[in-house]
Structure formats: C-alpha cells, structure tokens
Amino acid sequence: MQNTLLEHHIPKGLRNITSKVVNNIRITNDEALLLYQKGEIGFLGALANTIREKTFLEIKTFFNRNFHIEPTNVCVYSCKFCSYSRLYKHREDGWELSVDDMLNIVKKYDGIPVTEVHIVGGVHPKLNLDFFCDLLQKIKAHRPDLHLKGFTAVELDYMFKKAKLSPKEGLQKLKDAGLQSLPGGGAEIFAADIRKQICEDKVDAKGWLEIHKAAHEIGMHTNATMLYGHVESYEHRIDHMSQLRDLQDETNGFNCFIPLKFRNKDNEMSHILEASLVEDIKAYSMARIYLDNIPHLKAYWPMLGRNNAQLMLNFGVDDLDGTIDDSTKIYSMAGSEESNPSLSTEQICQLIIDAKRVPVERDTLYNEIKTYQLNEV
C-alpha cells in the first residue's frame, strides 16, 4: 500500500501530512486545506486508497439491494439548487402519494430479495408525523424483514416542530412505528453564509446535527452527506466535514459519508458550472483522508453516473449504494448522468469487478450478506 504512494511525487510541504495519514494520525483542518490546494489527484487517490485498503481487506466494495419511495415532491421550502420539488402553492405540478399508494409500491417487491426501502421526499405540510408512523407500521406489518430507512433531517425537523416534539421524542415515536435508520440528506454545506445563499429557510446546521445526534442516542445509525461544487470553498467543505467528525467522535453513529455533486439543470443555480471530474476526485479522496472515524465512503451512482462512480473506487470509495429501482426522481430531474437509475445485481457486481474490486452485498448496517466472484455474475 505504501509502495503505491512511493510511486507518486510527494510535494515537500505535504510529506509530514502524508506520514500522519499513513500512520493513522488525525490531520488538522489546516493540513486538510493544504492537501486540497496542493495535492494532485493521483497523489490524493493513492493516499485515499492506502486508507481504504487498510480498512477493507481484499479491497471489498459494498452494495445493497434496495428501492426508493418518494412520498411527494411538494415542498414548503425553496432550496435554490433543487430541481425536484414543487412549492406547495404550485402543488398541481407535483405528486402526493397516499399510504395505500406507497404500500402498493412495497408490495411490488414481494418475493424479490431486497433488504431496504429508502423513503425521502419533499416537506408537505399535510404529510405529518402521524401519517408517516401509519405508513411505517403498515410496511413493517406487511414485510417485517425489510429495513426501513427514511426521512432527511429537513423532513424530520418540520414534522417534529409541527407535532411539538423534541427531536428525540419524535424519533422515538418513528422508531416505535418501525423506522430503523436515517439517510444523510439535507446537510448540504453547514456554513451559515452558504446556507443563506442556497437554502435559507430550512433547518440549519445546528438543527441537522441535533437530529442525527438524537438518532444516535436512541440507537439508530445514520448517514451524512455534503453537497459540493456550487458556491462553497474548500474551507467550507472542511468545516462541514469537521463538524461531522466531531459528532462521530461523540456518538459513533454515522455509518457512511456521501459527497453529493451539485447538478445545475432546471433550478435557480443553473448559471453555476458543475464541478469537473478532477474536483469530484478531490472531494471523494479528501473525504476518505479527512473523515478518519466514519467507516464507509459512498459514491451515489444515480447522481454521479455509474461510470464516474466506478472510477471513484480508485479514490477511496468502498460503497456504490444499491441496485435502486427507477422510481427515484430526485437526481434524474436535476440532470444526473442516469435518466433511469436502475442496476441489476449482476450489473452492479460487474461494475465493481471491472474496477478490480470484490463485490460484497450488505444490509443497511453493513453486515455482509454475500461476497460475489466473477463466475457468479
């Protein structure tokens, strides 16, 4: 592993930082900024993969069999980067699913070996906490083995405030109804000055972190995200990851970190050019290098595109998310590389094998279900 690093020229100013990373010593925010500014992508990739291969022997790459339910794209918020939601006052342009509609989506997968349903959508004022508790109870009653992952901190913040419950009280109610873990959406960039420009009216960084901390405290694992490639700087990205790293030190409740690439189609930020592939590589490599206490780094292929997600397996990524049926619209509406985001198990395994990695099917909490070999796909 270290031999891979030796194949790359290490800039003089980065040698001490490199030594710290190789020897599992935490880097500072200033050191992370220096890596971002001076590290070439080949060097950063080698450094990120040194960490990845120490962590996951046999260069395992994880995926799961999942599907998405999007209850609504009607939303009370108006995030400028969003191509998906429709403001409540214009809800005739959107969709709103009933509990029965969503239960019928679940029933479509009867007899199919999926392990997770991922439930996220817009913030609809009429779809409240009791509505979603009813949904969770009915899904769990129909299919007890299905892991229920759902609701961003943005959705939860609105639900809990409307129900006049604290985050811990609200989460406990959802957990009692069947919710098992939270996705990482809604984090965007934590810096207040950036949020003011791109998503001023929804839950702030403090609220997002409080909800995830409360989830961890009642035994629920969660994921974390970062929206990159818009108006933020490297300093903002590092500050964002720093706050996640600090919370993880305290709770150890994050399973996975997912950098999400800003897409500029059909939104109020369409004038901003999307990040280059070089910037994508830096974002993923730096996430692996900096977040030394969050075990998994995911390239969410429906947003990044399957080919670029596969490329990120060379830059610290160990997870490609799931097979995902084509019901998810959040990223295709934003101009993702994937207009119909669906991969079979065979296709996702082949992507991993072609990158000289070993496909491992996991459940939501990263318990290993099956390791695949070339002759099995």
Asked whether residue 74 is domain-assigned, the answer is yes
* Mean pLDDT computed over 113-133: 93
Which of the pair, 132 or 74, is modelled with greater confidence?
132
Q: What's phi and psi for 227, nearest 5 deg?
A: -90, 120
Q: Which residue has the higher pLDDT, 252 or 95?
A: 252
Q: How confident is the model at residue 4 (pLDDT cuts 50, 70, 90)?
A: low
Per-residue confidence (pLDDT) for residue 1, from 0 to 100 = 40
Under the phi-then-psi rule, with left for phi > 0, alpha for psi from -120 to 50, and beta for the rest, what region is 252? Answer: left
What is the pLDDT, as a whole number, of residue 272? 85
- What confidence category does residue 334 fall into, taking pLDDT thresholds of 50, 70 and 90? very low
CB 352 within 8 A of CB 358: yes
Calculate what percentage of the chain has a pLDDT beyond 70: 88
**What is the average per-residue pLDDT within 22-45?**
95
pLDDT more than 90, % of the chain: 70
CATH number at residue 200: 3.20.20.70
| pLDDT band (50, 70, 90) for residue 2 | very low
Q: How far apart are CA 223 and CA 219, in angstroms?
A: 13
Q: What is the pLDDT of residue 74?
A: 86
Task: Confirm whether 299 is domain-assigned.
Answer: yes
Instruction: Work out the average pLDDT over 84-95.
Output: 58
Least confident of 122-126, 176-180, 251-255: 122-126
Q: What is the mean pLDDT of residues 168-176?
A: 98
Say what the pLDDT of residue 335 is: 46
CA-CA distance, 219 to 175, in Å (whole number)?
10
Query: Could you tell me if residue 369 is inside a domain?
Result: yes
pLDDT tens digit sequence for 50-82: 898 887 656 899 999 999 999 998 888 777 777
Distance CA 67, CA 69 (A): 7
Number of independent structural domains in the chain: 1
Within-domain flag for 261: yes
Q: Report the C-alpha gap between 103 and 303 in whole angstroms.
A: 26
Flag whether 36 is in a domain.
no
pLDDT higher than 90, residue 5 = no
Kindly provide the b/e burial profile for residues 255-265, where b requires at least 16 CB atoms within 10 angstroms of the residue's own CB: bbbbbbbbbbe
Nearest by Cα to 36 from 189, 193, 228: 228
> Using N-to-C axis directions, what is the helix angle for 99-107 and 129-142, rounded to 10°?
30
Rounded to 10 degrees, what is the CA torsion of 167, 162, 67, 57? -20
**pLDDT at 147 exceeding the cut of 70:** yes
Q: Is residue 17 part of a domain?
A: no
How far, in Å, CA of 297 to CA of 285, rounded? Answer: 10
Give the DSSP letter of residue 92. Answer: G
Supply the mean pLDDT for the chain.
89
- Residue 248: what pLDDT? 98
Domain that holds residue 185: 55-376
**Whether residue 337 has pLDDT greater than 70:** no
DSSP code per residue over 208-252: HHHHHHHHHHTT-EEEEEEEESSS--HHHHHHHHHHHHHHHHHH-
Q: Is 352 a domain residue?
A: yes
d(CA 121, CA 198): 18
Residue bearing the bigger pLDDT, 182 or 335 = 182
In a domain, 129, yes or no: yes
